[in-house]
Amino acid sequence: MAKTAAFLFIMLFSLVSGGDLLMVNGQKTWCVAKPSSDQATLLANINYACSHVDCRIMQKGCPCNFPDNLMNHASVAMNLYYQSKGKNHWNCDFRGSGLIVITDPSYGNCIYAN
């Protein structure tokens, strides 16, 4: 219970102090698509994010193309957008379909920006 209260305090403090979700002790954060997101939402997120950031890392033959599915591509694109816009919680909202995580989602040669 104490850990939960401390976590909530840190989250509230970070939101009140400017909205940056970088937590105490320099905790790194990434933005990924919520697993419950539907295909249309994922595609919309990819289109939106990639209209603002360079998403070439997801093209065929590039490190983040595999697995070649909307969930993976949306997570990569959403994180690129989130990182480039200052890691503010609102830069990972994507109409409620984004999720800020503290575990690095990188895999193989696909390195998620941070």
Give a yes or no: residue 109 inside a domain. no
Give a yes or no: residue 44 inside a domain. yes
pLDDT of res. 61: 95
The torsion of the CA quartet 31, 35, 37, 43, rounded to 10 degrees, works out to 60
Give a yes or no: residue 111 inside a domain. no
Full pLDDT tens readout for the chain, 114 residues: 444 333 433 443 344 334 444 444 578 999 999 999 999 999 999 999 999 999 999 999 999 999 999 999 999 999 999 999 999 999 999 999 999 999 999 999 999 988
Give the structural domain span for 94. Answer: 2-101
pLDDT of res. 26: 73
pLDDT of res. 6: 38
Number of domains in the chain: 1
Give a yes or no: residue 108 inside a domain. no
- DSSP letter at 33 equals E
pTM: 0.78
Packing angle between helix 70-84 and helix 39-50, nearest 10 degrees? 40
Give a yes or no: residue 84 inside a domain. yes
